[in-house]
Homo-oligomer: A and B are copies of this chain.
Amino acid sequence: MKVVLLSGGVGGARFARGLYAALGPDELTIVGNVGDDLEILGLSVSPDLDSILYTLGGMSDDERGWGRADETWNALSAVADWGGEDWFRIGDLDLGLHLVRTQALRRGARLSEVTADVVARAGLRLRLLPATDDPLQTHVVAPAGTFAFQEWFVARRHADEVDEVVFEGASEARSAPGVLESLSEADAIIVAPSNPFVSIGPIVAVREIRDAIARRTVRSVAVSPLIGGEAVKGPADRMLSRMAGGTSPAHVAACYEGLIDALVVDDADAPAEAPVELVVTDTLMRDANAARRLAQVVLEACG
């Protein structure tokens, strides 16, 4: 069964790990968000793609929730001592990937090529595709001003309420090689339990991807990132309240209008009404087994 998963960072990566375990090898294509990507310390960093790589590759620090296990922080500590920027936390192991990627990009490789290479080196039998190889940057519009995603999320600790999310470059961005083919060959499309505005939004802001999903001939199922109307982590609930008018399954489904046939919600959010089919289950991914069980339920909902 060939599946395309749209995924953002940490929550998406955990679901992706469950889905990868539930599927056979070479069945999963993940289209990852790159709107969070940034250049920091002269390095090209792709936090969401890396969260997926590390989580599925068994390298992630699940307790911290991001980055690599057994990480050290000496380079960043030296950066700070020498007067460099240290607001974006990059560990030493993580840095190795950014160095290799940045050098490959400078030599003319595409992000999709570099990503395919590291996925293969991690021994993963899946496709991990950036939504686009073109510049696409998520900015949040808040009362205090407009901020690049990581500036808002990390430096300002996503404290600002968000009035609007804009995707710079989206109108010119083409989908990365492989994305449209994967969507056309897929037996199902799944939207991970990621933030609809800043994780999935930048993916479907690429016109070709949005159109391909809107024209789908297979089922598309999203997993709500909320449990009992609250985000497990991050600002998804506050953003839904302010920008979608509420945190019910109907409000989540509205974010994906025309893009999904069903929404998987937690027991705590049922019963509920929504313009799409609702599937109710335990969506909290306590561990890898729970994520795999959730993935099974989602796959059944695709069937």
B99 touches A41 (CB 8 A): yes
In the complex, A277 has a CB within 8 A of chain B: no
Any B CB within 8 A of the CB of A92? yes
Copies of this polypeptide in the complex: 2
- Docked Cα-Cα span, A100 to B77, in Å, equals 12
Asked if A81 lies at the interface with its beta carbon under 8 angstroms from chain B, I say yes
Q: In this assembly, does A64 line the interface, its C-beta being within 8 Å of a C-beta of chain B?
A: no
User: Which chain B residues border A84 with CB–CB below 8 Å?
Assistant: 96, 99-100, 103
**B74 with A99: CB separation less than 8 A:** no
**Chain B: CB-nearest residue to A73:** B92
B-chain residues with CB within 8 Å of residue A77 when the two chains form the complex: 93, 96
- The 5 A-B pairs with the shortest beta carbon distances in the complex, nearest first, are A78-B96, A74-B92, A84-B100, A79-B96, A92-B92
A101 to B72, CA, bound (A): 21
Interchain CB contact under 8 A, B121 and A82: yes
Q: Indicate whether A106 reaches chain B with its CB closer than 8 angstroms.
A: yes
Does A30 interact with chain B (Cβ within 8 Å)?
no
Residue in contact with A93 in the complex, picked from B75, B97, B99, B103, CB distance below 8 Å: B75
Question: In A27-67, which residues have CB < 8 Å from any B CB?
Answer: 41-43
Are B72 and A121 neighbours in the complex by a CB distance under 8 Å? no
For A43, the closest partner residue in chain B by CB is B99
A284 lies within 8 A of chain B by Cβ: no
A150 at interface (Cβ–Cβ under 8 A)? no
A76 to B95, CA, bound (A): 9
Residue among A43, A71, A82, A84 with the highest chain B CB neighbour number at 10 A: A82
Does A138 make an interface contact (CB < 8 A)? no
- Which B residues touch A41, using CB under 8 A? 99-100, 103
Cβ of A244 under 8 Å from chain B? no
Q: Give the shortest distance, in Å, between A160 (CB) and chain B (any CB).
A: 27
A108: CB under 8 A from chain B?
Answer: no
Closest to A103 in B: B42
| Complex CA–CA separation, A95 to B78 (angstroms) | 8
Which residues on B sit within 8 Å (CB–CB) of A43? 99
A286 shortest CB reach to chain B, Å: 29
